Amino acid sequence: MIYINGKWTEGKSSSFSSISPLDNKLIWDGNYASNSQVLNAINSAHAAFPDWNKRGLDSRLKIIQRFYTLLEINKEKIKDLIKLETGKELGDSLSEVGASIAKYKNSLNAFHERTGKSSSPLGKNTQITNHRPHGVLSVIGPFNFPFHLPNGHITPALIAGNVIIFKPSEHTPLVGELMVQLWHEAGIPNGVINLLHGSKDVVRSLAKHPKTNGLLFTGSHIAGMSLSKLMANYPNKILALELGGNNPLVVWNTKKLIKASELIFESAFISTGQRCTCARRLILSNSKSSKKIVELLKKKSKLLSYKEASKDYFYGPLISKTAVQNFIDFQDSLIKIGGKVILRGRHVKSKGNYVTPSIIDMTGVKKIIDKEMFGPMIQIKFVDTFEEATYEANNTSFGLSAGLISDKKELFNHFINEVSAGIINFNTTTTGASGSAPFGGSGMSGNLRPAGFYAADYCAWPVASVVNDNF
């Protein structure tokens, strides 16, 4: 179902399905929006914008608060649906719901702190800065956090006074529909939020239309590059890209080998490696202790289970059969160019899209494949000096997340100034990110418009005024 101007209707274009990665069973089928339905959604949003903006912040917040009350009431339902469509284990799914619920407070604080009204004396006049919403913003959601990440765009955009056209991932249409249903129940005015199912053609139509004012995208760097090229023709539109990463994790001068291996394990394999901040490259000192860390990581990885009630570590499947094949193919490509197998990842064929972790030693391999592998795989490289480790950390076109594990804080002081990434953590996982902080990266990881707390920045634009009160 699609949602336009406050009404649900069937899509009128080609059909598609949602397949659960847990067992590859059909759980939903429907249709993409047609060209005429896309235009209808754009026109509906454009017509709804003036009233939504002019009604003022307090009026908007009453509706937004009702939505968040409904989130709290329906958190178990949301959690179960996330698990069904993504395969996430229940704790991971519940964590996503919790992050979504926390988004309201963080977004409101960010709105006041970063886009509020300010004034200061300017000679005999007063300098005033206000912020205005853009208008119609298109939000393109990913599959790996199908509720939290789109909501991370939608909430700050609505607070600022924008209206929304939301296109969920083709893998998670049910989660997207549930989110919009809750907005409907909260009393969102007709046209303020619209939902369209579609492929890249729908995204391109939304990006190009003269009545849309911006595109907020979360997804692969390949799709992000395509959108960046397209949007270069529309400098009047805001474009926020939240893309992937080929993230490094450096372990250096630590005696806490077990703790280090646990942090590596979680950084690389949480959510089955399907987080853009997961560690993809492990950089270690060429030492006996590092070899021990690798053995501990290998041992821990072998304990992963596919039974949620298991006492061992549990993780879910990859999102699709295609993702499984991409995982196996990429592993084979690393081996082909000289990578040494420490732990070979395999498809657990009796269980949906489950795979076992992959650990590949790439030390001595001169050719690198600078690619984000969205799955439970980590490449290892042993180096002799910390300067080499820092160099290898930067040896990528991406710049989303990086981490250092060390007993020496002074190394982190050097690391944070030398490594190019939007998130740089110390003695914790690479995946740790707070909603009260910016979230985004450099290079192929985005276009320097971080989300999280800084989403307020791309949801409103500043207007400067000089006011003469003594005219």
In a 13 Å sphere around the CA of 395, the CA atoms on its Cβ side amount to 18
Residue type for 353, please?
N
Neighbours of 123 (CB within 10 A): 8
Name beta bridge partners: 195: 3, 166
- In angstroms, rounded to a whole number, what is the distance separating the alpha carbons of residues 188 and 78? 19
Distance of CA 276 to the CA centre of its chain: 6
Marked catalytic residue, from 96, 177, 242, 372: 242
Give yes or no for a contact between 297 and 334, defined as CB atoms under 8 angstroms apart. no
Please state, in angstroms and rounded to a whole number, the distance separating the CA atoms of residues 196 and 73: 25
Burial of residue 321 (CB within 10 Å: 0-12, 13-18, 19+) is middle
φ, ψ for residue 44, nearest 5 deg: -65, -45
- Which phi and psi angles does 391 have, rounded to 5°? -60, -45
Based on the residue annotation, tell me whether 278 is a catalytic residue of this protein: no
CA atoms within 13 A on the CB side of 334: 31
Helical (H) or strand (E) element with 466? strand 460-467
What φ, ψ does residue 57 adopt, rounded to 5°? -60, -45
Residue of 85, 177, 266, 276 with catalytic role: 276
Q: How many residues does the chain have?
A: 471
Cα→Cα distances 141→52, 166, 205, 428, 443, Å: 23, 8, 16, 27, 21
What's the Rg (C-alpha) of the chain? 23
Catalytic residue flag (residue 242): yes
CA distances from residue 290 to 84, 251, 261, 380 in whole angstroms, order as listed: 38, 8, 10, 11
DSSP code for 305: B
CA 143 to chain centre: 9
d(CA 163, CA 46) in angstroms, rounded, equals 8
- Specify the DSSP class assigned to residue 188: P
What does the DSSP 8-state code read for residue 400?
S
Q: How far apart are CA 290 and CA 34, in angstroms?
A: 56
The upper half-sphere exposure of residue 458, i.e. CA atoms within 13 Å in the direction of its Cβ, equals 30
- Which residues are annotated as catalytic? 242, 276
